[in-house]
Amino acid sequence: MFPDHDVFTAPDFSDVKFEKSNAAVYFHEDFLAHKTGDHPEHPRRLVIMRNATLDNPVNENLDWPSPELCDEADVLRCHTGSHYENVRKSCEAAAEAPGGLVRLDPDTVVSEMSFIAARRAVGACCQAVDRVVSGKNRIAWCLVRPPGHHATPERSMGFCLFNNAACAAEYARAVHKLERVMIIDHDLHHGNGTQDIFYNVPNVLYTSIHQSYHFPGTGYIDEIGSGKGRGYTVNFPVLAGSGDNEFALYFREVVAPIADQFKPQLMIVSIGFDAHSADHLGFLKVSTEMFKRISLQLRAMAVQMDIGLIYTLEGGYSLEASAEAFVECLVASITDRFDAGELPQPNRPSQGAIATLDHLRQAHKGIWEL
């Protein structure tokens, strides 16, 4: 039997007032030069999202700064030197390889320009940190590829070369001396690379909702961090077929209260549209409307805490659905209209998701009040 609604606690955003603001959107043609052949992660993903944005009235409230290449040091805060060199040399080798492509693993392909694209993707995310911390924009969107959240300290995997979100978080700590950064990952897949990088670190809180029993096979509830990082990894796996109600449950019952207690000085969102109901790389059923509601909640949280908010693109392989959801989220992230009734509402989450929430509460008992 479904429990009474009063077991769920709505975040209190009664003091939140939105003001219309411009967002920065980072995009560069180099991201399209990362060629992958016949592969679901291909340049057209970005083309259609960019074009949909340019064709929407929201573009009047967007700044489009050009991202620069990151420094090597910006990558090496999260990745080993051998990994950095392997990506560089593999891309050099691709220039002479059959078809111009080299496989780093069964899923991950590079071309001659992929190393440059990956460095520019990290550069975009680091420059987004500069921008939101300085207050020039409080919201930044990094429309980048290759994606990043599967890249571990030592290896590329899952379409990812360097971990964009992690590099941005470490840049914020090293350059801007921020002490608390929160990374929220709502891609279909668990961000194993981001988790690995910060598993023993208390200054960066990583939380993810993702399809369970799916690639990359990580992200269990009991993976909560270790040593000084214990409690700073928070995983909410959901079963195939989960959708709006389960995502609403996670954002209301996990993300909001943990953020309230952790008090981040910056939020970074690894946003993946492969959880969309129209995407066929997995089996989640999130609607465009719920993506928009999530963006509204994240905006409310950032406004309430008076901190910057950065989105960096991960997955999303249905071109039309990804473009539609991207624009809706972008609009929601800068709107001047706030209505608590438009925030995520877990009307009837599955019994499995409720059990997952109970398990998560037990795993983090004594660490977070949930």
Instruction: Report the alpha-carbon distance of residue 311 to residue 314 in Å, rounded.
Output: 9
C-alpha count within 13 angstroms, C-beta hemisphere, residue 290? 25
Does residue 3 carry a pLDDT above 70?
no
Q: What is the pLDDT of residues 205-257, one digit of tens each?
A: 999 999 999 999 999 999 999 999 999 999 999 999 999 999 999 999 999 99
pLDDT band at 135 (very low <50, low <70, confident <90, very high): very high
> pLDDT tens digits for 160-170?
999 999 999 99
CATH superfamily of 21-29+40-67+122-363: Histone deacetylase domain (3.40.800.20)
pLDDT of residue 1: 27
218 DSSP 8-state letter: -
Active-site residues, by number, are 150
Write the pLDDT tens digit of every residue in 46-59.
999 999 999 999 99
**Which H or E run includes 248?**
helix 244-250
- Tell me the pLDDT of the chain averaged across its residues: 96
**What is the rounded average pLDDT of the residues 270-274?**
98
Q: Is the peptide bond before 264 cis (omega within 30 degrees of 0)?
A: no
Domain ranges (residues) in the chain: 21-29+40-67+122-363
Q: Is the pLDDT of residue 307 over 80?
A: yes
Q: Is the pLDDT of residue 332 over 70?
A: yes
pTM: 0.96
Mean pLDDT of 132-138: 97
Which pLDDT value is given to residue 119?
Answer: 99
